[in-house]
Amino acid sequence: MKGPVISRDQVKTLLDTPFLNVVDLQYAEGKHYYNASRRKPDRMAAVKTEEEFRAMLPDAVTCIVIIRTPGQEPRLLLAREYRYPAGRFLLSPPAGLIDPSDRQEESPLLETARREIREETGITAEPSRLEVVNPLLFSSPGMTDESNALVLAVYDLENLGKLNQDGAEGSELFDGFRLLGRQEAEETLRRGRDEHGYFYSVYTWTALAWFVSGLWDK
């Protein structure tokens, strides 16, 4: 499959900060396409070769966390995390950027998932299942090359006494957990809003859908 190829000299930096970069992808003479990215220009998806593109790691990992405790049906673990662009605490799965040290591990996506779950939920136990659901999903390729992997983590815990959000770092703000059984998760999925009427992200939708479908248990 052939398509436009953008070389590195066609990428013009418009904004360069430690956390966000905006570039002009000058894909043809007088033609401009803008990309907001976490990546520096030489690492952006648009300039990668076919081989590099197929092998690249995502920017972050989103975790579909299922908790099984005695006497309870399996439940999906979500948190209320403050999302600055939305200005609200939104229903969110545990997630986080892949650290440089994670990239050196044998399984960078799984290593990131373990760390983010530990930091954002306080769960230190080893999961009963930990596997990659999808290695890379673009968030909104019409405006950014930002991407997330999806990782499934299933935990068998005696109780929920150790759940906490004390590991929040930097700009992270949390306001408690939501544990949803299948019926409540399906209702939340159908409504497209949480119980407060707030919208949520496409990655929350995906976690809900994966849980409700039963695919997590196959």
Output the pTM of the full model. 0.94
Rounded distance between C-alpha atoms, residue 25 and residue 143, angstroms: 11
The 10s digit of each residue's pLDDT in 102-142 is: 898 899 999 999 999 999 999 999 999 999 999 999 999 99
- The parent domain of residue 202 ranges over 60-217
Rounded distance between C-alpha atoms, residue 136 and residue 55, angstroms: 10
CATH number for the domain spanning 102: value is: 3.90.79.10
> Do 18 and 33 belong together in one domain?
yes
> Do 120 and 210 belong together in one domain?
yes
CA distances from 157 to 63, 69, 75, 160, 163 (A): 17, 5, 12, 7, 11
For residue 3, being part of any structural domain is answered with no
73 close to 181: Cβ distance less than 8 angstroms: yes
The 10s digit of each residue's pLDDT in 61-102 is: 999 999 999 999 999 999 999 999 999 999 999 999 999 998
The 10s digit of each residue's pLDDT in 156-202 is: 999 999 999 998 888 899 999 999 999 999 999 999 999 999 999 99
Q: What is the maximal distance between C-alpha atoms in the chain?
A: 65
For residue 105, being part of any structural domain is answered with yes
> Do 70 and 145 belong together in one domain?
yes
Q: Looking at residue 52, what is its pLDDT?
A: 94
96 close to 116: Cβ distance less than 8 angstroms: yes
* Mean pLDDT along residues 17-24: 94
Domain tally, the chain:
2
Other CB atoms within 10 A of residue 69 CB: 15
> Do 125 and 204 belong together in one domain?
yes
For residue 2, being part of any structural domain is answered with no
Rounded distance between C-alpha atoms, residue 120 and residue 207, angstroms: 16
Q: Looking at residue 6, what is its pLDDT?
A: 86
> Do 43 and 106 belong together in one domain?
no
| CA nearest to 172, candidates 82, 49, 61 | 82
Rounded distance between C-alpha atoms, residue 44 and residue 168, angstroms: 28
Confidence of residue 28 (pLDDT cuts 50, 70, 90): confident
Q: Looking at residue 7, what is its pLDDT?
A: 87
The residue among 55, 76, 91 that closes a domain is 55
